[in-house]
Structure 1
Amino acid sequence: MRASRLWVWFGVALVAVLFVFFLHTILTPFLIAMLLAYMFDPMVDRLEKVGLSRTWGTISVFALFTVILVALMVVLMPMLAKQLMKLYQLAPQVLDWLQNTALPWVQTKFGLSDGFWNFDKIKATISTHMGQAGDIAGVVLSRATASSLALVGFLVNLVLIPVVAFYLLRDWDILLAKIRGLLPRDREQQIVSLATECHDVLGAFVRGQLLVMLALGVIYSAGLMLLGLELGLLIGLLAGLASIVPYMGFIVGIGAALIAGLFQFGGDLYPMLGIVAVFMVGQALEGMVLTPLLVGDRIGLHPVAVIFAILAGGELFGFAGVLLALPVAAVIMVLVRHVHDLYKHSRAYKGDEEPEL
Structure 2
Amino acid sequence: MTAPMLLTDSQRQVLLWLALAVAGWWGVSLLAPVLLPFVVAAVLAYALRPVVAWLAARRVPQWLGAGLAIALLMLVLLAVVLIIVPVVTQQWPLLREQIPPLLERLNAWLVPLAQRHGFDIAIDVEGVRALLRRLISGHEGQLLDHVLASLRIGGSAMLAVLGNLVLMPVVAYYLLLDWDAAVTRCRALVPPPWRPAVGRFLAEADAVLGQYLRGQLLVMGALAVFYAVALALVGLKLAVPIGVFTGLAVFVPYLGFGLGLVLALLAALLQFQSLLGVLLVAAVYGAGQVIESFFLTPRLVGERIGLHPIGVIFALMAFGHLFGFVGVLIALPASAVLLVAVRRVQGLYVSSPLYRPRDAARSPEED
TM-score band w.r.t. shorter chain = 0.5 to 0.7
Letter in 1 for 2:25: V
- Contact 1:231-1:260 within 8 A present in 2 as well: yes
> Against the structure 1 CA distance between its residues 87 and 187, is the aligned structure 2 distance closer, same or farther, given a 3 Å change threshold?
farther
d(CA) in 1 for partners of 2:251, 2:266? 19
Cα deviation, residue 261, structure 1: 5.2
Residue in structure 2 matched with residue 40 of structure 1 by the alignment? 48
Report deviation, 1:43. Answer: 0.8
* Corresponding position of 1:312: 322
In the alignment, is residue 180 of structure 1 matched against residue 190 of structure 2?
Answer: no
**What's the % identity of the aligned pairs?**
27
Q: Map of 1:128-147 to 2, 5 A cutoff?
A: 129-131=135-137, 134=140, 142=148, 145-146=151-152, 147=154
CA distance in structure 2 between the aligned counterparts of 1:88 and 1:333, rounded to whole angstroms: 52
State the AA in 2 paired with 1:43: V
Instruction: Output the CA distance in 1 between the equivalents of 2:97 and 2:34.
Output: 37
Bigger mean CA offset, 2-11 vs 179-188: 2-11
Matches within 5 A, 1:208-357: 208-210=215-217, 212-213=219-220, 215-217=222-224, 219-221=226-228, 223-224=230-231, 227-229=234-236, 237-238=245-246, 241-242=249-250, 264=272, 266-268=274-276, 272=280, 276=284, 279=287, 283=291, 297-299=304-306, 302-314=312-324, 328-349=334-355, 353-354=360-361
Letter in 1 for 2:344: H
What residue is the counterpart of 1:165 in the other structure?
172
Of 3, 11, 34, the residue aligned with 2:11 is: 3
In 2: Cα distance, 1:279 partner to 1:87 partner: 26
Report the CA distance between 1:155 and its aligned residue.
1.8
Distance 1:49 1:12, change over 3 A: farther
Alpha-carbon distance between aligned partners in 2 of 1:2 and 1:88, rounded to the nearest angstrom = 73
- Alignment of 1:63 onto 2:68: no
On the 8 A contact 2:211/2:305 being kept in 1, the answer is yes
Q: Does 1:73 align with 2:81?
A: yes
DSSP-derived class of the 1:353 partner:
coil
TM-score when scaled to structure 1? 0.68
State the superposition RMSD in angstroms: 5.2
Q: How far, CA to CA, are the matches of 2:99 and 2:24 in structure 1?
A: 45
How far is 1:74 from its partner?
Answer: 3.6
Q: CA deviation at 1:45?
A: 0.8
Aligned residue number for residue 25 of structure 1 = 33
Q: Is the Cα–Cα contact under 8 Å of residues 205 and 336 in structure 2 kept in the other structure? A: yes
Structure ID, larger Rg: 2
The answer to whether the 8 Å contact 1:202/1:330 transfers is yes
Unaligned runs of 5+ in 2: 1-8
Q: 1:212–1:291: 8 Å Cα contact kept in structure 2?
A: no
Summarize the Cα distance change of 1:169–1:353 in structure 2 as closer, same or farther, 3 Å threshold: same
Say which SS state the counterpart of residue 31 (structure 2) adopts: helix
Aligned CA distance change for structure 1 residues 282 and 223 (closer, same or farther; 3 Å): farther
1:152 to 1:252, Cα distance in 2 relative to 1, 3 A: closer
Aligned residue type for 2:151? T
Contact conserved, 2:88 with 2:263, CA < 8 A, in 1?
no
- 1:200 matched to 2:192: no
Seen in structure 2, the aligned counterparts of structure 1 residues 235 and 8 have a Cα distance that, compared at 3 Å, is: farther
2:96 and 2:332 map into 1 onto residues whose CA distance is: 33
Query: What 5-or-longer segments of structure 1 have no aligned partner?
Result: 109-113
Shift of residue 165, structure 1, vs aligned partner: 0.9
Question: Contact 1:145–1:151 at 8 Å: present in 2 too?
Answer: yes
Whether 1:189 aligns to 2:196 is yes
User: Which sits farther off after the overlay, 248-257 or 152-161?
Assistant: 248-257
Is the CA contact (8 Å cut-off) linking 2:224 and 2:245 kept in structure 1?
Answer: yes
* Alpha-carbon distance in structure 1 between the residues aligned to 2:24 and 2:94: 46
Q: Secondary structure at the match of 2:193?
A: helix
Alpha carbons of 1:171 and 1:356: their partners in 2 closer, same or farther (altered >3 Å)?
closer
Cα distance in 2 between the residues matched to 1:243 and 1:323: 8
The question of whether the paired residues in 2 share the 8 Å contact of 1:212 and 1:290 is answered with no
| Structure-2 separation of matches of 1:67 and 1:124 | 40
Are the equivalent residues in 2 in contact too, given 1:235–1:253 (CA < 8 A)? yes
Q: Tell me the distance in 1 between the aligned counterparts of 2:222 and 2:77.
A: 16
- Tell me the distance in 2 between the aligned counterparts of 1:266 and 1:162: 45
SS in 2 for 1:302: helix
Aligned 8 A contact 1:221 1:236 in 2:
yes
